[in-house]
């Protein structure tokens, strides 16, 4: 029997409850909805981490962030077996396409892929040329020339710099994803494993106006926010210094919904192309979010500083008729960590002993609970915060590691600062009523389970504060800061 192709599509910063197949009141994801009708949808898919770097490390290794140490090192150690390495050693060609700099070579996530396509480069190279745009234009260009263009391969760097400047005004990469992916797939002679990373739902939200008008209830306000300095807005909001109004939050969410719909359009284009190529029946398609997004809940925006459902509950759909029942909606808890053993099982490859074998096939044991981890963040540098009119003390309350244990009904969140939270998700899905002192017996049961889990996995509370400084190229740091990462 011929081994199936495997297509893993990750929707960055995509919330499950903004997808129409999960009940959103507007048609944001018709392509994902159709895929769910043809495959299996997981109602309660939980990410082990609330942002891209640790979430992808877990997707690619089947290990929790505390097991890989990714929060402390900001780098995936080569001793960990990855999907790309394992499948590549079993005859699969491997490919990844992304516009997120966490998947640059410096962080180790894409090390084992045979082909890596960076959407911010026209001329593919390991050197990244991206500059900050908050400086005076002359200084900005002089900085780019000094730091990037005159180093290494100057012609290639010039081309890539100009390409990035031009394409970033179009979108986050969705419109440029399909052509190189299709070209690579068409050239394959044997089974292949491809990872597609869509970034449209990630800040900043700047959907094309056509899509904005489909979802904006207040088009004028939505347009204003679309053209605003969104990084300044969300950092001041998170600091509690200048909260967005109710009307502004509604428009902010409409921009997000429009981005999801725009992203889904290109997902649909890709799925239609696979059908025309008669590859759907021979390809296992996995579509899921790496993490969610805060849209004003708990007075937070973006995807940091918490482990609430807004950040860790994500969409997950798998379509491959020989193994996944069409139209099925799985009601029990799963972790996106389970994608790792699932893909290996579909490919007929043994699972490394280091990874858990809670897979997503029908004969898998059911997880009694799921774990998520958030490593202690650094206090953002004074120089970075100053441009937003903020100070480090505005963020000191967030400097703590977090671990959550979620059962079907309850969730406990433990902070390295001694904080504890308990929520009854059945009656309080928004996690607004902390029951830690009101339900001590339930709290103790969940805390005991968490301590046992730490012992069994030989880990503890995630209390590392890693740093980008000196570890990666300065241009990558600048690009990540533009995406809202300030450490």
Q: Specify the pLDDT at position 190.
A: 96
Question: What are 9-57's pLDDT values in tens digits?
Answer: 999 999 999 999 999 999 999 999 999 999 999 999 999 999 999 999 9
Question: What are 72-129's pLDDT values in tens digits?
Answer: 988 899 999 999 999 999 999 999 998 777 787 778 888 999 999 988 776 656 655 4
User: Is pLDDT at 4 greater than 50 in this prediction?
Assistant: yes
Do 179 and 169 contact (CB within 8 A), yes or no?
Answer: no
Q: φ, ψ for residue 210 (rounded to 5)?
A: -55, -40
Do 132 and 140 contact (CB within 8 A), yes or no?
Answer: yes
Q: Specify the pLDDT at position 363.
A: 85
Beta carbons within 8 Å of 455's beta carbon, 6+ residues apart? none
Do 174 and 263 contact (CB within 8 A), yes or no?
Answer: yes
Beta carbons within 8 Å of 134's beta carbon, 6+ residues apart? 387
Do 90 and 347 contact (CB within 8 A), yes or no?
Answer: yes
Q: φ, ψ for residue 308 (rounded to 5)?
A: -75, 165
Q: Three-class SS of residue 275?
A: helix
Q: Which of 269, 262, 264 is nearest to 212 (CA)?
A: 262
Number of neighbours of residue 20 by Cβ within 10 angstroms:
19
The sign one gets for the Cα dihedral 130, 133, 136, 137 is: positive
CA 193 to chain centroid, in Å, comes to 19
In CATH, what number does 5-120+168-368 get?
3.40.720.10
Question: What are 295-351's pLDDT values in tens digits?
Answer: 999 999 999 999 999 999 999 999 999 999 999 999 999 999 999 999 999 999 999
Ranges assigned E (strand) in 161-245: 192-198
Do 201 and 265 contact (CB within 8 A), yes or no?
Answer: no
Do 212 and 226 contact (CB within 8 A), yes or no?
Answer: yes
Candidate from 20-34, 141-155, 157-171, 393-407 with smallest mean pLDDT: 141-155
Residue predicted with more confidence, 467 or 371? 371
Q: φ, ψ for residue 336 (rounded to 5)?
A: -65, -15
Q: φ, ψ for residue 311 (rounded to 5)?
A: -105, -25
User: Is pLDDT at 143 greater than 60 in this prediction?
Assistant: no
| Residue 298, beta-bridge partner list | none
Do 5 and 283 contact (CB within 8 A), yes or no?
Answer: yes
Average pLDDT over residues 127-147: 46
Strands 93-98 and 115-118: parallel
Buried b (16+ CB within 10 A) or exposed e, 387-399: ebebeeebbeebe
CA 204 to chain centroid, in Å, comes to 14
Do 4 and 282 contact (CB within 8 A), yes or no?
Answer: yes
User: Is pLDDT at 159 greater than 90 in this prediction?
Assistant: no
Cis peptide, bond prior to residue 204, ω within 30 of zero: yes
Helix 219-227 to helix 246-276 angle, to the nearest 10 degrees? 80
Token readout for 336 is: 């996106």
User: Taking CA 216 as the corner, what is the angle to CA 213 and CA 218, rounded to the nearest 5 degrees?
Assistant: 115
CA 416 to chain centroid, in Å, comes to 24
Q: Specify the pLDDT at position 150.
A: 52
Q: Specify the pLDDT at position 476.
A: 54
Largest CA distance in the chain: 66
Give 218's pLDDT tier (boundaries 50, 70, 90): very high
User: Taking CA 65 as the corner, what is the angle to CA 313 and CA 455, rounded to the nearest 5 degrees?
Assistant: 105
Average pLDDT over residues 188-206: 96
Rounded to two decimals, the pTM is 0.89
d(CA 247, CA 168): 28
Helix 30-38 to helix 246-276 angle, to the nearest 10 degrees? 50
């Amino acid at each position: 029997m011929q081994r199936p192709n495997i297509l893993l599509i990750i929707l960055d910063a995509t919330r499950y409850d903004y997808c129409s197949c999960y009940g959103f009141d507007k048609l944001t994801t018709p392509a994902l909805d159709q895929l769910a009708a043809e495959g299996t949808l997981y109602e309660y898919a939980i990410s082990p981490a609330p942002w891209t770097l640790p979430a992808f490390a877990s997707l690619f290794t089947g290990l929790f962030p505390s097991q890989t140490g990714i929060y402390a090192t900001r780098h995936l150690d080569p001793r960990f077996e990855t999907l790309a390495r394992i499948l590549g050693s079993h005859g699969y060609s491997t490919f990844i396409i992304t516009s997120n700099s966490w998947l640059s070579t410096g962080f180790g996530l894409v090390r084992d892929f045979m082909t890596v396509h960076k959407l911010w480069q026209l001329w593919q190279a390991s050197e990244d040329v991206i500059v900050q745009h908050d400086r005076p234009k002359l200084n900005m260009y002089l900085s780019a020339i000094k730091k990037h263009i005159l180093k290494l391969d100057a012609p290639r760097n010039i081309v890539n710099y100009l390409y990035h400047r031009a394409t970033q005004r179009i979108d986050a990469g969705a419109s440029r994803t399909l052509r190189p992916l299709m070209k690579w797939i068409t050239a394959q002679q044997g089974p292949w494993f491809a990872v597609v990373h869509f970034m449209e739902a990630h800040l900043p939200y700047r959907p094309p106006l056509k899509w904005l008008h489909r979802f904006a209830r207040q088009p004028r306000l939505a347009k204003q926010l679309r053209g605003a300095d969104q990084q300044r807005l969300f950092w001041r909001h998170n600091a509690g210094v200048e909260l967005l109004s109710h009307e502004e939050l509604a428009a902010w969410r409409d921009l997000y919904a429009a981005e999801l719909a725009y992203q889904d359009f290109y997902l649909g284009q890709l799925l239609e192309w696979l059908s025309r190529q008669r590859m759907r029946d021979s390809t296992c398609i996995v579509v899921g979010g790496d993490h969610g997004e805060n849209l004003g809940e708990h007075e937070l925006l973006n995807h940091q500083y918490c482990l609430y459902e807004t950040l860790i509950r994500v969409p997950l759909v798998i379509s491959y008729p020989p193994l996944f029942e069409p139209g099925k909606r799985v009601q029990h808890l799963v972790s996106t960590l389970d994608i790792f053993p699932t893909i290996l099982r579909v490919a007929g490859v043994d699972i490394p002993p280091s990874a858990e074998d809670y897979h997503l096939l029908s004969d898998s044991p059911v997880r009694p609970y799921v774990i998520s981890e958030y490593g202690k963040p650094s206090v953002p540098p004074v120089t970075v915060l100053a441009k937003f009119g903020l100070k480090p003390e505005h963020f000191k309350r967030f400097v703590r590691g977090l671990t959550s244990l979620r059962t079907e009904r309850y969730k406990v969140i433990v902070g390295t600062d001694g904080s504890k939270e308990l929520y009854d998700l059945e009656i309080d899905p928004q996690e607004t009523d902390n029951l830690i002192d009101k339900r001590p017996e339930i709290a103790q049961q969940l805390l005991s389970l968490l301590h046992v889990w730490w012992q069994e996995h030989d880990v503890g509370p995630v209390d590392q504060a890693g740093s980008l400084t000196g570890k990666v190229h300065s241009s990558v740091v600048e690009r990540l800061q533009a995406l809202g990462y300030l450490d």
